[in-house]
Amino acid sequence: MYSECRGTLGRSKEEKKVIRKQIKASHTLLKHEGISTTPHPTESVVVANGGLGNGVSREELLSVLTEAEEVESLFMPPHKPYAFVTYRSVESARRALTQLNGQKLQSEENSITLYLSYVNSVTFEEEKSVPLPEGLVLVEEFVSPDEEAVLLAAIDWLSSNEDVTAQKSLKHRRVKHYGFEFRYDNNNVDKDKPLRAGLPDECLPVLERCVKSGLISIMPDQLTVNQYESGQGIPPHVDTHSAFEETIISLSLGAKTVMEFRHPDGRLVPVVLPGRSLLVMRGESRYLWTHGITPRKFDMVPACSPHSPASDLGTNRNLTLSKRGTRTSFTFRKIRHEPCCCAFPSTCDSQGAASAFSPSPSSPPSLPCCHADATRLEEEYVHRVYNAIASHFSSTRHSPWPSVCHFLSLLPAGSVLADVGCGNGKYLGVNPELITVGCDRSNALVQICVERGFQAFVSDALSVPLRTASCDACISIAVIHHFSTPERRLAAVRELTRILRPKGQALIYVWAFEQEYNKQRSKYLKEQIKDEHLEDKWTNSKLSVHTNRTAFNTQDLLVPCHDTTKTSNTILKAKPENGQVPVFHRYYHVFQQGELEQLCGQVAGVRVCRSYHDQGNWCVILEKD
């Protein structure tokens, strides 16, 4: 990390002009933040682009600033792309501005240009220190560096069931269980099937120390080891009440991280977990608050001396950025054999709570294993979303795909065409010689079709209320990838073939896993849009949230979209936090090459007569016998 020593001194006229322009631009941005700059020199200066919010740490910024003038105070508001500097005198501030304006700062791989302006005053509220959730205790330096090394070496990752390379490519945190296996499909433990490997012997000294210190009274019999790389996390959750006894202890090894505790009433408490520290969860912190680690590469932590409390993230003073490193946690728990009878029934599965996961929409679902689960998943992550975003969705889908139009244009005049999953009716009017009828699961979208003068009705693609063999042709464009089990996807194809008359043809389009084909990147990838809103990138072993406009790395995923319509029916519980727009997630199963053909091959009485890749989709044309 270095900084170029070039302020406005010794710059050409052109360079000064550019800098002046940029400064002016920065004033507009700052105004939106409620910061008024002034052309008259004062002791207080705002440094645009020198903020925690754009990846600049306190140390990096101080290093650049102090090369010019001595700094009296530096305030870096969290999440903001600017900082406030106060100098000893107005003269000092003037000199700093002259020297530092337009100065480049090298932060990690980014070269950042700083723009300084005077401000009238810097006021920030002194926030009170936020207390830890009830029942939470953090003990620092619980193990020595030697003990840490022994524990880390005790984990044999290669003997775990998952394929290591698959894990790495899927960007999931690594997990290993001892004693009993924790299952992620039902968030519970198989209490009748203890694992062959009990807790490793290397853990005994640590556990004995816990008992001796009075942190636990019973020896745990279950251990989950989680390894997080930078950028990985775990979604907010409450550990299943019925699975484990009250006290849960978690030893953090390797790099420090920030764990966030959330209370049902919305309070959020971030807690720094330094390496070699032990976290003890009891009471509310164990039973009521959720805990999670946001997948990030940097955390905001106090820029403190080693002796100040690590948990003191409550005040906004003196924060800096801490780059994440590899962290391994050892979470020890005792299996519970009786139902839980805690004082927190709202989050207790023994006392009737639906799920141990927080009720917020931020906990991602798992892949369904039965029809009822599939229906629920699709209701939440397909139907409700389309109904909520119908008008926005419709406005972004107005260009019919050429290959689909071509298929439609080849149909003889007077052919009866069914568009199953017609959306906003994009294809219903393409060939006016056809007798078309559309159907869609979304009432809101069908209304748009009817408003446009098309005939459409509301129905499910798994049960289309059209008579058998009544259609000359049908199309299903970007529909079947919303079904969450292979059986349902097959049933959808069966319905399409049922309504076809003999020799009738069906055209099916589904989103492809392979977005690049024949060295051609699909339009979806080509347009790189910077998405500042996207904070939610959890991964779990089942359904991950996709980052838009990038290649897919799993087949079953949730794709975020932001509702930017002014009048949105927020049917979903997604509440805007910090003024952000609600993020809706749509479930997709993206198809691999050959998968759609193979699916259609399972349907009797129909054959695939053409299959191709079109703009990031796998496509087939089926013909009924």
Q: In what order do the strands lie in the sheet with 73-75?
A: 37-38, 115-119, 44-48, 82-86, 73-75
Contact 264, 346 (CB under 8 A): yes
Contact 472, 415 (CB under 8 A): yes
What is the closest distance, in whole angstroms, from the C-beta atom of residue 456 to another protein in the complex?
A: 7
Binding site for another protein (CB under 8 A): 375, 413-414, 416, 433, 435, 437, 439, 441, 443, 446-447, 450, 455-460, 462-467, 470, 472
Residue 10 — left, alpha, or beta (φ > 0 → left; ψ -120 to 50 → alpha)?
A: left
What is the closest distance, in whole angstroms, from the C-beta atom of residue 435 to another protein in the complex?
A: 6
Contact 138, 281 (CB under 8 A): no
Residue whose CB is less far from another protein, 205 or 465? 465
How many CB atoms sit inside 10 A of residue 338's CB? 8
H or E element at residue 174: strand 174-178
Residue whose CB is less far from another protein, 136 or 466? 466
Contact 444, 385 (CB under 8 A): no
Q: Is 481 exposed, middle or buried (0-12, 13-18, 19+ CB in 10 A)?
A: buried
Residue whose CB is less far from another protein, 30 or 480? 480
What is the closest distance, in whole angstroms, from the C-beta atom of residue 485 to another protein in the complex?
A: 15
What is the closest distance, in whole angstroms, from the C-beta atom of residue 243 to another protein in the complex?
A: 30
What is the closest distance, in whole angstroms, from the C-beta atom of residue 459 to another protein in the complex?
A: 4
Residue whose CB is less far from another protein, 15 or 487? 487
Please name which of 318, 319, 266, 324 lies closest in space to residue 294, comparing C-alpha atoms: 324
Angle at 13 between CA 11 and CA 17, to 5 degrees: 100
Residue whose CB is less far from another protein, 465 or 605? 465
Residue whose CB is less far from another protein, 372 or 604? 372
What is the closest distance, in whole angstroms, from the C-beta atom of residue 460 to another protein in the complex?
A: 6
What is the closest distance, in whole angstroms, from the C-beta atom of residue 105 to another protein in the complex?
A: 59
What is the closest distance, in whole angstroms, from the C-beta atom of residue 413 to another protein in the complex?
A: 6
Say which residues have a Cβ less than 8 Å from residue 329's Cβ, sequence separation at least 6.
225, 226, 227, 228, 250, 251, 252, 253
Residue whose CB is less far from another protein, 268 or 410? 410
| Number of alpha carbons in the 13 Å side-chain half-sphere of residue 267 | 13
What is the closest distance, in whole angstroms, from the C-beta atom of residue 376 to another protein in the complex?
A: 11
Say which residues have a Cβ less than 8 Å from residue 457's Cβ, sequence separation at least 6.
437, 438, 439, 446, 465
Residue whose CB is less far from another protein, 456 or 496? 456
Residue whose CB is less far from another protein, 166 or 413? 413
Contact 560, 538 (CB under 8 A): no
Angle at 548 between CA 405 and CA 613, to 5 degrees: 35
